[in-house]
């Protein structure tokens, strides 16, 4: 039995767990003090954490296990390791390594699936972000199939640019395979975005980032994606990637059911300032908590933790604790079609739970393990 205060009602609840699932949620007269309880957080986009780079085929399983333990300390129970644009061989190597970690290490149960971001993205400065230009390439179904084979079928999210030649056929194919197609690192026109949605795209990756430095007032691909009711939108709420006003407007536009908190964390996250690696790219964490390509101001993911992201959401968008938590639990589960996570502290769901104190100070993270 797990005891805490529900963010939805403010009242104390007891959660009964059987065989790795929530068997019952009951209000109780027992006093939990200042201990609150919520579903475990879900991060759809993690390139690395605690000094560990998920984009490198050479990363050891011990290092991945250590990074997952660090992620759990921030309230994350399930996440999608994310491999960015690189050489075909390098990307397959990283996917193969992560699939092995998912299968072999005890902590691998937290890896829901894998997210591939690139290489079928815009080659232009701005939309390309920190992805290496030399490895950007046209969509290729056969390359995806080779990636999926290396990943042991674990690729569940795939980010691409809808203006790339031949991309609509690939979107249709990915959707038919159960892969969530995400739009990102794009300079697409309004028609290209609409066509991609009709082909099966359902999510905008880190909306408002991976963009040109200057855009027409309208139309542009940020407004088009914000206005598309069919698209979920993930947001990096670190105060660096997006200003508070943009976060507030984006949450209002997408609604509380389709806005999602992500970190886009890279290896420097939860580390001291210094130099680190993101796939083929040298990056640095500055004292201001910016992760950028060495020698530039180009952002290369973030150093955000999900627990701090929840707090930022409340401050930036004026959300309640319960509303911010839905963007970090229920919404990502639905967008990624995650089985066993259908509601907020709901009987029958996997018993992924986080216990925390005011200020979202994580006390304990419980990862449901099905027998």
Residue 274 burial (CB < 10 Å; 0-12/13-18/19+)? exposed
Number of domains observed in the structure of the chain: 1
In a domain, residue 270? The reply is yes
Tokens of 295: 């020698």
pTM assigned to the model: 0.98
Does a structural domain hold residue 22?
Answer: no
Report whether 115 contacts 158 (CB < 8 A): yes
Q: Judge whether 35 lies within some domain.
A: no
Q: Which residues are part of the catalytic machinery?
A: 264
When pLDDT is averaged across residues 12-22 and rounded to a whole number, the result is 96
Q: Measured between alpha carbons, how far is 82 from 127 in angstroms, rounded to an integer?
A: 18
Whether residue 103 lies inside any domain: the answer is yes
Q: What is the pLDDT of residue 370?
A: 76
Tell me if 52 sits within 8 A of 82, measured CB to CB.
no
* Average pLDDT for 310-331: 98
Residue 322 lies in a domain: yes
For residue 109, give the DSSP letter.
Answer: G
Question: Is 275 within the bounds of a domain?
Answer: yes
Give the range of the structural domain holding residue 82, as residue numbers without chain letter: 40-341
CB 116 within 8 A of CB 147: yes
pLDDT of residue 9: 96
| 347 assigned to some structural domain | no
342-371 pLDDT, tens digit each:
999 999 999 999 999 999 999 999 999 875
> Token pair for residue 194?
């609409």
Is the model's pLDDT at 338 over the cut of 90?
A: yes
Phi, psi of 143 (to 5 degrees): -65, -40
Predicted confidence (pLDDT) at residue 280 exceeds the cutoff of 90: no
Q: What is the pLDDT of residue 72?
A: 98
298: domain CATH number?
3.20.20.140
pLDDT digits (tens, 9 = 90+) for 58-109: 999 999 999 999 999 999 999 999 999 999 999 999 999 999 999 999 999 9
In a domain, 17, yes or no: no
């Amino acid at each position: 039995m797990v005891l805490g205060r529900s963010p939805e009602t403010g009242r104390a609840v007891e959660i009964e767990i059987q065989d790795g699932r929530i068997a019952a949620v009951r209000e109780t007269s027992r006093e939990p003090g200042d201990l609150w309880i919520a579903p475990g957080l879900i991060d759809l986009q993690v390139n690395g954490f605690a000094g560990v780079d998920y984009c490198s085929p050479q990363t050891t399983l011990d290092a991945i296990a250590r990074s997952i333990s660090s992620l759990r300390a921030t309230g994350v129970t399930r996440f999608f390791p994310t491999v960015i644009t690189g050489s075909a061989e390098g990307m397959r190597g990283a996917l193969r390594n992560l699939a092995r970690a998912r299968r072999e290490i005890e902590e691998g149960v937290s890896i829901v699936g894998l997210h591939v971001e690139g290489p079928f993205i815009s080659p232009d400065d701005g939309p390309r972000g920190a992805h290496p230009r030399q490895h950007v390439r046209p969509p290729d179904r056969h390359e995806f199939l080779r990636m999926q084979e290396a990943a042991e079928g674990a690729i569940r999210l795939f980010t691409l640019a809808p203006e790339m030649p031949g991309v609509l056929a690939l979107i249709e194919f990915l959707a038919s395979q159960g892969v969530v197609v995400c739009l990102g690192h794009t300079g697409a026109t309004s028609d290209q975005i609409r066509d991609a949605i009709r082909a099966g795209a359902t999510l905008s990756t880190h909306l408002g980032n991976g963009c040109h430095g200057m855009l027409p007032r309208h139309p542009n691909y940020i407004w088009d994606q914000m206005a598309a009711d069919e698209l979920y939108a993930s947001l990096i709420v670190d105060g660096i990637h997006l200003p508070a006003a943009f976060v507030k407007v984006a949450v209002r536009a997408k609604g509380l059911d389709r806005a999602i908190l992500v970190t886009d964390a890279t290896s420097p996250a939860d580390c001291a300032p210094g130099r680190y690696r993101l796939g083929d790219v040298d990056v640095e964490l500055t004292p201001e908590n910016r992760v950028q390509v060495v020698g530039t101001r180009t952002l290369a993911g973030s150093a955000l933790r999900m627990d701090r992201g929840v707090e930022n959401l409340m401050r930036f968008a004026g959300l309640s604790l319960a509303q911010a938590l839905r963007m970090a639990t229920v919404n990502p589960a639905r967008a990624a079609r995650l089985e066993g996570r259908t509601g907020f502290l709901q009987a029958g769901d996997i018993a992924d739970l986080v216990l925390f104190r005011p200020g979202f100070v994580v006390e304990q993270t419980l990862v449901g393990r099905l027998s």
